[in-house]
Structure 1
Amino acid sequence: MSSEALASNHNQDVNSSFSYEDNWYIYEPMGELDDMNRDAISACLPTVPFDLYHVCMAPVSLMVLLVLSLLIKRKRLYKHCLDGAPGLLSPVHFLEEEGIKGVTVAVFGILFSSLCMLVLDANPLPFVSSSSSHSREYWKIMALLYYPAFYYPLIACATVQHRIGYFFGCLLSWCHCVVHIWQKVECPESPKIYRYYSLLSSVPIILCLVVLSLWYPAQLVKNFRRKEKMAEEVLGNGFYKEYLKNILAKRPPEGNAGKGKPGVFSRLQSYLHSYIYTPQEGFRIPLKLVLSLAMAVIAVYQVALLLLVTFVPNIQIVRSGMTMDVTALLVQFGLIPMENPASLPGDKELATAKHYVWALEVCFVSSLVVSCLLTFSMLMRSLVRHRINLQRLYRGAVVDVFYRPRKLQPSQQALVCWMCFTGFQAAFTCLGLLIQQLVFFICAVAFTFLVVIPLQSGTNMYLFKIAENMWPFWLTLVASVIVQNFLTHYFFLEKGHLPRELTNRRALYIVTYLLFPLNVLVGVLAGVWRMVVSALYNVVHFCQLDVSLLSHGAEAFDPGYRTYCYYLKIEVSQSHPAMKAFCLLLLQSQSPQGPKGQQPSDIEEGVMLMNQPASKASHRKQNCARWWLAYTLLNNPSLLPYRKAVLLNAAANGMQTSPVKP
């Protein structure tokens, strides 16, 4: 047969293989639908629909909040607020309360997971069943205000710390938990994104509701077991005493003798301890930091789940639908090598194409796992750094934290940043994980298709060919660096003197001039390496608010680090353990009932007592109180600005008040 006939037969075969009506894989029947195809899942209607659940639970939550406001008098919390009239219950005492961290994390976890789900929902507001694309954004804004109000009673019942609040908390938590579990049992699959995405994204909500469903009954039973009404305990009281005992304890002098250079094992251990948070005696993490870390962990879970269910099922569908026609198209673009270019693609080329798609899937999953692990490690390191910074500020070492003198006083900007800190931490964690996933996925794909696959198959070795052709250039650069280090070590530095001096200066000048062109090329490579290292450093540390991604002079332009600095100001100025302990000592001296009759909110009243005339006491007790106050202020210089305002009245510590000037 002639070559023209072979070419015509080959063209006919190729044209027939690329026929859109017969052989194009999109129009071919796929047989049974894939298990991960979302079109195969029909909409499921549970017994208690989502809209009905909110229609019933929203009025119930509102009634519970009103009843608690009417029954729990505000007079014992705020004596001068509307003469004890009922008011809106406080959700969390972020600066004063430390006893319900688990409940606070659970309610915020429910709220944050609900907000993550409504972002991708076609109907973000439960009461609106069908919304157009034009009005959907407005309903999302309304949903951002509705969900915090909807879950408000769940946390307000715990803040009351009364048996009535615990009873209503039991009812609300049980209702929410039963309805959520019932809906997921009846309808575990949904056609949105992936059949099990709705179920998996609801796991944090169900876990948090289970925690609340167990905590409220336990507190209610604990309350009823007591004969008298349970007095509210100040859990921070023990913490403040431990803090004072820790800073006032006599420590044995540390001997420097016998201490040599730390070994490799000790340095490795100290490095691992910087990434692992362990409880420390005399210190307790503030509620805001615990809440921020928990929301960051939930954010990592939600974002990683969304990335996983968006990419992996679709790439598996593409891999299972690969045909000879798609393989031929990839061969024509040169993406898949062929042993015999004159023949048509066969089973070997199809297997190669599927192997490439599988490599993409492996790269995506591997990069996602690495991103999640790095984010978790950075969050743990951030928690360790939080403790170090707080301890430094507690003892007045402001320069060690902020690198310049700053006043630890509340301000408008500081208070706004304190309120935004938890939200910023969750948002920065989401963005950091997305950026890490994108960067690591690109790097993994480049390494796989430029290094791993060419080494396996022996084809498409473009990177190795470039490196082979440029080996004289790389050898020259490496030789220039080695020569400069060799000459510097043996000829340009004197070894006899302890402070080393320069020698052979004429030769040093000659070598510096001759190697200038080579140093320019080395500088280009060093500049590329600097750009890569700085980009990777910023990507990895993006979720850490305690680390500035800019230099010290430009820290003010980093919104995350600026928010963290102002947060520390508010936290230290308003929740200093020494100040809280001093206020509790004032309350104990004023209250005849002792520490058991104190309220958590009475810690604020201790500050007010400093402005009142001191009770009649012996001269010895007054001197003792003054000595302890002086010792506290000397070891905590950050408290001095607040003491100055008190000394203007001169009524504390038994001092005689001066007549008020007109």
Structure 2
Amino acid sequence: MSSVNTLIVTILSLTVVVDGLSNCSKYNPCSQYGYCRTDSNGNMSCECKFWWAGTICDEQTTSGKQVIAFGCISAFVIALYYGLGLVRYIRNRKNKSKENQKKENIEYPKLLDVALKTVRRAPRLSLFLTTVLIIIVATAGLLGKWKILQPIHDEIVNKYQTKQSLYYIPNSFCNSIIFDQFNVITFPVACLLIIMFIIVTKRTSLMRDKCHGYGGLPIPVDFISGVDRKFAAVVFAICADELITIFLELVGGRASREGEGIILTYLLHLLQVFVMGFRYYPFLAAVYINSIFTLICATLYAWLDYSITIVKQGMCEPDFYSTYDQYRVKNSTTVDVMFLYYGTGPALIAIQLCTDIPRYLCLAYINVKLPLLLIDKIYFKFKGNVSLEKKLLLKLTLEQRILARVSRPNSVEMLYVQNLFRSTNQRPHTKNLFGRLIPKKIYEWRDDFLYSSRVLCVYSSIFLLLYFVAIQACVRVIPYLSLVQTFLQRVFDAVTGLIAAFSTNDNTEVNGNTSNFPVPSLVRPYIIALFLTLIIIIIQLLVFLVNIRRNLLQTYRGDDSEIPRRQRLHYISCSSGNIHFAGYFIGYLIWGFILIALLSTIISISIEAFITYGSVRIIEKILKYIIPVVLPILLKQYINILLAQYVFLQHYGEVLALNNRRILMIFIYFNFFLDAFLGFVSSIFRLIQSLIGGILYMCRLDYSPLGRKLETLDGGFSAYCGLIHTECTHRHPVMLVFVSHLYTQYIMRQWVNKKIFFTDLSIEKKYRIQIRPSSRYIRKWKLGAFLIRNPMLVFYRKAFLNQLHIEEVRALNDIDDDGEKNMKQRLSIYTRRMSAAQLSIASDNSIKDSKTERF
């Protein structure tokens, strides 16, 4: 049979040569499992795919038959394992007793009742009015930018059609408000407002007797607490766009001027970051101070900044149109490519406005929220029928009011304390309508937990940053993909040609696609890879957000199974990591996005090449070496799992107790030598898995690719541990509730001592019950009973701590890994102090006895 095929191929080759068709591009005698090759002499031959052989690649080799058989056996073992697992699952569900299936009879409110109650309780008019005003202000801003961009667009289109240089002359207004990338209007106004806020802010610790206590630096955001989280998150989301612009200019966007140098250029970009911080400082400080004066100033400044932003971005800094200086420096044809791909219509303006929708919504939120806060503040100031409790709270500072509200029954911290002695099934469902709509298997919404302002600010910045990057990656890169495809094809041809030249001596040409890796059209795989990257990043960010809550709750109760326990030697490292958390998170996210995008692009291009051309020779060669190695490892792993579950362990693996001990020892004996060969191959896969896992988990600071023993060497993980320990130290719910209760009672006692009379009888009765003075002997008896029931609190009493040295105080305060050693040290301190006290008492008694005898 083979001789007949050889004769046929020879006859066809002679016929082709005679007809002048002496290459494989004219005729392909090979089957679908082979490639036709033509050497320099005009002789044709077939290069077979995978495990096919023969003259025209129509015969399967012995290796191919063995791979197919081995693959069938592996598939059978895998199907057997999952089939047995499915059978056991169905049988266990049927055999479950009804007593175990019954849930505890806890009556929870229905979802409809919660929805109706939420609707009735919600400030419908205020929320509706705020939403409408935000949409109106954002739409007005976008329309204003459209009107400003339209003349510039028409000018550039006219020059494009007449084949002129594509640049525009900006208005003189741009030169008057922008000086070397700095806004000369908003920046001085922001600095003036900051100085005014410093004047009206009281100092709390430093030189409080100077200038009547005024002249303190206002806090922009209290990142640890949950005050004004939404407003702060919106402001930080706006900063994301400006931050990515500065970053792109630093990496390679704007060239430095002559004589500046790289260090000076870097410092100028850092100065731009500080200027951006000063620009939004007054907004945050005004909301935090929350006075009529600061809110008026911030409202006027917000309207000024919003107007200048519209004019500046539309007239001075459009996305796709260059000024004369930019055109001279770059000397690029970016606008030509954009017009060629998107046309000369309003498509580019529409793209710019779509990109600006989230930014303008955030700006509109600031411009609407500040006046509403001001109106609410004025209305509350001149309102007559204000409850006494609110009047008393107004006399406190913002920090004092925050601490006093913690002890309320409906506060987040109080709910956490109430749920401490409840099991998961007994914990009441959330009252949030949105939280009840989410299945518990995906995410359990808890009313007794609140993310800090810092976490929300970081996430708002990141999500808006991802939106900007995704839009720009689609709009700016897609027109250049045809050029990229040509470049990649040349690179692959050169590389594969060089490899073929070293591996073979003959010069052959392959039928059809002359490349070993033909590059398909990149538009579809690029878009798929981009959306796949966004999906992976978003999933990782959401999982990371859930893990932040889980790790915080674990740290609250002293569980160090995931986060290493804090130690005194690492306090500085924790503080430093807490400072670096936001910056590290954003930097890791950017690198994770780039690496995942590259990996998904390679995979998408390979799949697209298979779909377009049906076969890719270089990938087929790689698979030809990988498949015979993967199949034995896969079969061996599933055989071990089957034997471990159904042969070597009791109760099908539900109990870690050996069964069939003799067979297990024999199996381990022979498996010892077998795994020596498979372990070498497994180590290669371990490296590949580590590389892919490191890429996919790059943006996850709670995951360290270095492993549990070396995770503290990872800067990102150390920053995350610093955040967790810092928030646990300052936001522990039990501590806050306890301190809030003590502080509230202390404040009420002060008010009573100052003879503040209560006009509301109910409030008078309420507070007089809490602050009723008790006898000194009763308080001493209560204290003694409390210390007997909680003897460890004796170590933390003020009278006891005053007798200790600093090292002894640290021993009582630290929470080290060696808990037994720490406890022994505490007991030795206690024993030593008690023995000293007993000796002093004994000496006093001996002195008294001697005095009595003398008398």
So what's the TM-score if we normalise by structure 2?
0.54
CA distance in 2, matches of 1:495, 1:615: 63
Aligned to 2:578: 418
Instruction: Describe the superposition over 1:163-192 as per-residue Cα deviations: whole angstroms up to 9, x where unpaired.
Output: 111111111111111222234455754336
Instruction: State yes or no: 1:244 paired with 2:446.
Output: no
Q: Aligned AA for 1:384?
A: V
Confirm whether residue 444 of structure 1 aligns to residue 604 of structure 2.
yes
Equivalent residue number for residue 94 of structure 2: none
Task: Assess if the C-alpha contact under 8 Å between 2:574 and 2:723 holds in 1.
Answer: yes
Helix, strand or coil at the partner of 1:226:
helix
Contact conserved, 1:189 with 1:198, CA < 8 A, in 2? Answer: yes
- The CA deviation string for residues 589-620 of structure 1, in whole angstroms up to 9 with x for no partner, is 2324999xxxxxxxxxxxxxxxxxx9964459
Cα pair 2:519 2:605 within 8 Å, conserved: no
Instruction: State whether residues 231 and 366 of structure 2, in contact with CA within 8 Å, keep that contact through their aligned partners in structure 1.
Output: yes
Q: Report SS of the residue matched to 2:380.
A: coil
Task: Specify which of 271, 278, 285 is matched with residue 451 of structure 2.
Answer: 285
Once the two structures are TM-superposed, the CA of residue 440 in structure 1 deviates from its matched residue by: 1.9
Please state whether the residue corresponding to 1:148 is helix, strand or coil. Answer: helix
Say which of 377, 392, 396 aligns to 2:539: 377
Looking at structure 2, the residues matched to 328 and 67 of structure 1 have their Cα atoms a distance apart, in angstroms, of 63
Contact 2:648–2:659 under 8 Å retained in 1: no
- Corresponding residue for residue 320 of structure 2: 190
Which residue, out of 464, 468, 484, partners 1:298? 464
Whether 1:387 and 2:549 are equivalent positions in the alignment is yes
Of the candidates 286, 289, 314, which is equivalent to residue 157 of structure 1? 286
Corresponding letter in the other structure for 2:321: P
In the alignment, structure 1 residue 101 sits paired with structure 2 residue 271? no
Query: Structure 2: any 5+ residue segments left out of the alignment?
Result: 1-16, 22-156, 323-333, 339-347, 384-390, 427-437, 498-507, 752-770, 804-836, 838-855
Q: Which residue of 2 aligns with 1:84?
A: 213
Alpha-carbon offset, residue 50 of structure 1 = 7.2
Question: Which 10-residue stretch deviates more, 583-592 or 227-236?
Answer: 227-236
- Tell me the amino acid that sits aligned with residue 648 of structure 1: L
In the alignment, the residues of structure 1 paired with residue 627 and residue 223 of structure 2 have an alpha-carbon distance, to the nearest angstrom, of 62
Partner Cα separation in structure 1 for residue 716 and residue 785 of structure 2:
38
The range that moved more, 113-122 or 640-649, is 640-649
| Alignment partner of 1:402 out of 563, 566, 574 | 563
Alignment match of 2:275 (pick from 146, 150, 154): 146
Q: Describe the SS at the equivalent of 1:552.
A: coil
Equivalences for residues 376-525 of structure 1 within 5 A? 376-395=538-557, 397-403=558-564, 405-407=565-567, 411-449=571-609, 451-453=610-612, 457-464=613-620, 499-504=658-663, 508=667, 511-512=670-671, 516=674, 519-525=675-681
Shift of 1:584: 2.4
Contact 1:112/1:295 (8 A) holds in 2:
yes
Structure 2 letter corresponding to 1:190? F
Against the structure 1 CA distance between its residues 617 and 548, is the aligned structure 2 distance closer, same or farther, given a 3 Å change threshold? farther
Contact kept in structure 2, 1:33 and 1:40, CA below 8 Å: no
- Alpha-carbon distance in structure 2 between the residues aligned to 1:409 and 1:546: 21
Q: Give the letter for the 1:444 counterpart.
A: S
Aligned to 1:608: none
Q: CA deviation at 1:108?
A: 2.3
Distance 1:51 1:141, change over 3 A: farther
Cα distance, 1:525 vs structure 2: 3.8
Amino acid in structure 2 at the alignment position of 1:167: I
Match of 1:603 in 2: none
- Aligned residue identity for 1:423: G
Does 1:555 pair with 2:711?
Answer: yes
Distance 1:144 1:332, change over 3 A: closer
Q: Deviations over 1:208-260 (max 9, x none)?
A: 3212111100001101112449837735654554323442369677899xxxx
Give 1:179's match in structure 2, choosing from 301, 308, 331: 308
- Between 279-288 and 80-89, report the one with greater CA deviation: 80-89
> SS at 2:710's partner residue?
helix
* Residue pair 1:545, 1:561 contacting (<8 A) in 2 also: yes
* TM-fit CA distance, 1:560: 0.9
Partner of residue 45, structure 1: 170
**Helix, strand or coil at the partner of 2:446:** coil
Equivalence for 1:602: none
Distance 1:568 1:540 in 2: 23
What secondary structure does 1:66 align onto?
A: helix
C-alpha deviations, 1:25-79, integer Å up to 9, x for none?
Answer: xxxxxxx9999xx998524625742760511222212222222222x24157878
Q: Cα gap change, 1:646/1:74 in structure 2, threshold over 3 Å: closer, same or farther?
A: farther
1:382 and 1:546 in contact (8 A); partners too: yes
Structure 2 equivalent of residue 598 of structure 1 = none
Given the superposition, is the C-alpha separation of residues 469 and 282 from structure 1 closer, same or farther in structure 2, using an over 3 Å criterion? closer
In structure 2, the CA distance between the partners of 1:152 and 1:512, relative to structure 1 (3 Å rule), is closer
In structure 2, the partner of 1:573 is 729
AA partner of residue 449 (structure 2)? F
Q: Report Cα offsets for 1:366-395 as digits up to 9, x if no partner.
A: 222112111111111112111122222223
Q: Would you say how many aligned residue pairs link Structure 1 and Structure 2?
A: 559
Cα separation, partners in 2 of 1:329 and 1:5, compared to 1, 3 Å: farther
C-alpha displacement of 1:145: 2.7
1:113–1:202 contact (8 Å) kept in structure 2 = no
1:361 equivalent in alignment to 2:361: no
**Identical positions, percent:** 15
What is the CA deviation profile of residues 326-365 of structure 1, one whole-angstrom value per residue up to 9, with x for unaligned ones?
A: 9999999999xxxxxx99x9xx999x99x9552x222222
Question: For residue 248 of structure 2, what is the amino acid of its counterpart?
Answer: L
Instruction: Judge conservation of contact 1:417–1:567 (CA < 8 Å) in 2.
Output: yes
Within the candidate set 220, 244, 251, 1:116 is matched to: 244
Whether the 8 Å CA contact 1:75–1:81 is kept in 2: the answer is no
CA contact 1:65–1:153 (8 Å) conserved in 2: yes
Contact preservation (8 Å) 1:154, 1:169: yes
How big is each residue's C-alpha offset from its partner over 1:554-573, in whole Å with a ceiling of 9 and x where there is no partner? Answer: 11211111111122222222
Q: 1:407 to 1:119 in 2, by over 3 A?
A: closer
Structure 1 residues 619 and 279, CA gap change in structure 2 (3 angstroms): farther
CA–CA separation in structure 2 for the residues paired with 1:565 and 1:632: 34
Report SS of the residue matched to 2:184: helix
Structure 1 letter corresponding to 2:594 = L
Distance 2:424 2:740 in 1: 33
Residue 74 of structure 1 corresponds to 202
Asked if 2 retains the 8 angstrom alpha-carbon contact of 1:124 and 1:143, the reply is no
Q: 1:207 aligns with which of 332, 353, 361?
A: 361
| Larger displacement relative to structure 2 (300-309 or 421-430) | 300-309
For 2:271, give the aligned amino acid.
M
Cα deviations by residue, 1:438-467 (Å, 9 ceiling, x for unpaired): 222223223433x433xxx34544544665
Question: Residue 648 of structure 1 corresponds to which residue in structure 2?
Answer: 801
Matches of 2:687 and 2:217, distance apart in 1: 53
| Stretch moving more, 278-287 or 492-501 | 492-501
Q: In 2, are the aligned partners of 1:428 and 1:543 still within 8 Å (CA)?
A: yes
Question: Aligned to 1:311, which of 460, 477, 480?
Answer: 477
CA deviation vs aligned residue, 1:141-162 (integer Å, no higher than 9, x gap): 3223332223322222212110
Distance 1:5 1:332 in 2: 32
Amino acid across the alignment from 1:272: I
Report which stretch shifted further, 519-528 or 436-445: 519-528
Answer whether contact 1:43 1:190 (CA < 8 A) is retained. no
Relative distance call for 1:255 and 1:410 in structure 2 (3 A) is closer
Report what 1:586 is aligned to: 742
1:333-348 maps to which residues of 2 (within 5 A)? none
Contact residue 574 and residue 725 of structure 2 kept, 8 A: yes
